[in-house]
Chain A
Amino acid sequence: MALTVEDVHRVAHLARLDLTDAELATMTQQLSAIVDYVNQLQEVPTEGVEPMAHALDLHNVFRSDEPRPSLPVDAALANAPDRRGEFYGVPAVLE
């Protein structure tokens, strides 16, 4: 298989996804099949080909640096899982 359970566990940690043991097992099998499939791209000659991240040839699109009204605080906090006054309540970031 292209991926081991350890590989999948490591990627899940990078992606901040808590997977059950059953999910880890299924995911390992399914992702391995998909990675095996996408490995076919290694056969495609691409020397001298520029990566195409984007269909349009747009470059830094700026607007002038003028202050404008933004989202009101109440609207911004309306969906907060844990609103504390004008703040979002979150678990401690630093331990």
Chain B
Amino acid sequence: MSLTDRTALELLDALARGETTAEALTAEYLQVIRSRDPQILAFLHVDEAGALEQARAIDMRRSRGEPLGPLAGTPVALKDVLCTRGRPTTCGSRILEQFVPPYDAFVVSRLKEAGAVLIGKTNLDEFAMGSSTENSAFQITRNPWDLKRIPGGSSGGSAAAVAAGEVPLALGTDTGGSVRQPAALCGVVGLKPTYGRVSRFGLVAFASSLDQVGALAHDVADAALLLGIIAGHDSADSTSVDRSVPDYHAAVETPVQPLTIGLPTEYFGGGLDREVESAVRDAVRVYQKLGATVRDVSLPHTPHAVATYYLVATAEASSNLARYDGVHFGYRAKQYDNLIDMYAKTRGQAFGQEVKRRIMLGTYALSSGYKDAYYLKALKVRRLIRDDFDQAFAGCDVIVGPTTPAPAFRIGEHMDDPLAMYLSDIYTISANLAGLPAISIPCGFARNGLPIGLQLHAPPFEEEKLLRVARMYERATDWHRRRPPR
């Protein structure tokens, strides 16, 4: 197995033993990116010189016996919605095509302290709005398992980069499933923490009460390591929670026993692809063989989750994206009649269709005469969705189901029907509304070779249990070791 097929933990071990150097390892990943990314199109910016320089600095520290961070020498890719000081951060949008942030996001600072080699910024749906990465203003990332299909979204670039062996770890962001869904479609692990577990400082905001930075990796043990590095309180993010961070990495190999798994009846109805259902039920049987009890639970407000999300998220987005007005940064229209016209032309010219659609929907939902019926109503149903989970967790440790209704669809298949695209978020969206941690792990393949993901949810701030339960499945199977054809 080549170095670039290994997990981050395996690479850290190889670096510690002297099997390779950080510089050689980074050079090898850069070579994979050079040869594969023209087909995959996962990266928007690759920082070859900067990455090699960071890697050399790690090698120098190691040779001098200086202390090294827990990720020292490991290449990590960042979704291009995370601010990186002095390096472009476009959010996949023409309105920020030339934007260079003057500061690092909190999670970026944490990665630097940990010794990670920041190799580049990955492609995404514009402003993280989308489920296929087709809404990027710049390029459409391909699914490494089938180049005619989408990698998922909005963190499609990050998921594809890990799946294709271009990088062992990546950060994405998850507002309605945007880490978990591409993880499932690309056959990698994708973790969304509890809302407030990871600082959003320097994460360009889409929906402030839903956004969370998430981890993408080849396996659960790597995801646990990465979460431990980025989690924790940040005084610069008033929504970040001041609560101690468990040692996820140390805990992850310990199985949870006894273990009760909840299966929501509402997740196994119509619209679920039969191969996905079959793989998920096989996964549940694996847990039963490991000694888990399985019980049916009910999340009765599931049919209302998508509608609730597309009111709450779009309302928040309409407010957050008001700052893109051509005044302080970003694109400004060249011709306009007055200030208001400048705003309207700037935004009209430089925002993509999906972004405009969501701003419009959110503005409508908040506008006078409609706010009670749409936005406030949605916030009430949101509480009911959260209550459903609280009640279900009274009788089980984790809630399990499919991550997506079907494997990856073809590029262009849903672009004419935004509503059909929205409905494909059905399984991931509730975790964001309720603020819960959730993870997608590989659990099989469809007949056509496309990956299938299993999703697990845990109560708020129980990432440790979530990761341990996910790892139990991984140790009993080897889906996560499969790599797409080169």
Closest A residue to B318 by CB, please name it. A15
Q: Beta-carbon contacts of A14-40 to B below 8 Å, as 1s and 0s? A: 111111100100010011011101101
A92 within 8 A of B: yes
Q: How far is the CA of A51 from the CA of B371 in the complex (A)?
A: 12
Q: Which residue from A14, A50, A75 sits with its C-beta under 8 Å from B383?
A: A50
Residues of B within 8 A of A81 (CB): 326-327, 329-332
- Contact A34-B332, Cβ < 8 Å, known A40-B304, A44-B304, A55-B435: no
Min C-beta distance of A56 to chain B, whole Å: 5
Nearest chain-B residue to A93 (Cβ)? B339
Contacts of A92 in B (CB 8 A): 338-339
> Interface on chain B toward A: helix, strand, loop, or mixed SS?
helix
For residue B256, CB closer than 8 A to chain A, the reply is no
Check if B338 sits within 8 Å of A80, measured CB to CB: no
Q: Does B349 contact A (CB under 8 A)?
A: yes
A1 proximal to B (CB < 8 A):
no
Cross-chain contact of A56 among B356, B384, B435 (Cβ < 8 A): B435
> Inside 8 A of A42's CB, which chain B residues have their CB?
373, 377
Encoded as 1 (CB less than 8 Å from any A CB) or 0, chain B from 362 to 383 comes to 0110010000011011111111
- Interface residue SS majority, chain A: loop
B contact residues around A55 at 8 Å (CB): 194-196, 209, 386, 434-435, 460
Residue numbers in B under 8 Å from A23 (CB-CB): 353, 356
Contacts A11-B360, A54-B209 given; indicate if A79 touches B378 (C-beta within 8 A).
no
Decide: B377 and A46 in contact? CB cutoff 8 A. Answer: yes
Contact among B326, B331, B374, B380 for A46, CB-based, below 8 A? B380
Interface: B343 (CB within 8 A)? yes
Which residues of the partner chain A approach B195 to less than 8 Å between Cβ atoms? 55-56
The number of chain B residues touching the other chain, given as a range, is 35 or more
Q: Assess A63 versus B235: contact at CB under 8 Å? Given A17-B351, A44-B301.
A: yes
**Are B364 and A35 neighbours in the complex by a CB distance under 8 Å?**
yes
Whether B98 is near chain A, meaning CB under 8 Å from some CB there, is yes
A71-85, CB < 8 A from B: 71, 75-76, 78-82
* Assembled-state Cα–Cα distance A54/B241 (Å): 13
Interchain nearest-CB distance for A67 vs B (Å): 15
Chain A's closest residue to B210 (CB) is A55
- Report the bound CA distance from A71 to B104 in whole Å: 12
Of B209, B311, B367, B460, the residue contacting A11 (CB under 8 A) is B367
Within 8 Å by CB of A49, from B339, B360, B380, lies: B380
A17 touches B383 (CB 8 A): no
Give the CA-CA distance A19 to B239 in the complex, in Å: 35
A55 to chain B, nearest CB (A): 2
A66: interface (CB < 8 Å)? no
Query: Which residues in window 282-306 of B have CB below 8 A to A?
Result: 301, 303-304, 306
* B409 in the interface (beta carbon within 8 A): no
B239 touches A56 (CB 8 A): yes
In the complex, whether B60 has a CB less than 8 A from a CB of chain A is no
**Given known A-B contacts A17-B344, A34-B418, A44-B384, A52 and B379 have beta carbons under 8 A apart:** yes
Chain B residue numbers with a CB within 8 Å of A12 are 344, 360
Kindly state whether residue B345 has any CB partner on chain A within 8 Å.
yes
CB-defined contacts of B332 to chain A, threshold 8 Å: 81-82
Report the bound CA distance from A78 to B102 in whole Å.
8
Q: Name the CB-closest residue of B to A20.
A: B348
> Is B386 a contact partner of A52 (Cβ separation < 8 A)?
yes
Nearest 8 Cβ contacts at the A-B interface: A55-B435, A18-B348, A51-B379, A79-B329, A52-B383, A81-B332, A75-B102, A46-B380
**8 sample A-B contacts, Cβ–Cβ < 8 Å, listed by A number:** A15-B318, A27-B356, A31-B361, A42-B373, A46-B377, A51-B379, A56-B241, A91-B342
Q: B residues within 8 Å of A by Cβ? A: 98-100, 102-103, 194-196, 209, 235, 238-239, 241, 301, 303-304, 306-308, 310-311, 318, 322, 325-332, 336, 338-345, 347-349, 351, 353, 356-357, 359-361, 363-364, 367, 373-374, 376-384, 386, 418-419, 422, 434-435, 460
If A18-B349, A34-B310, A55-B460 are given as contacts, then 20 extra A-B residue pairs at C-beta distance below 8 Å, sorted by A number, are A7-B364, A17-B348, A17-B360, A18-B345, A27-B356, A30-B419, A31-B361, A38-B307, A41-B374, A44-B381, A51-B380, A51-B383, A52-B383, A55-B435, A75-B102, A79-B98, A79-B328, A80-B328, A91-B342, A92-B339
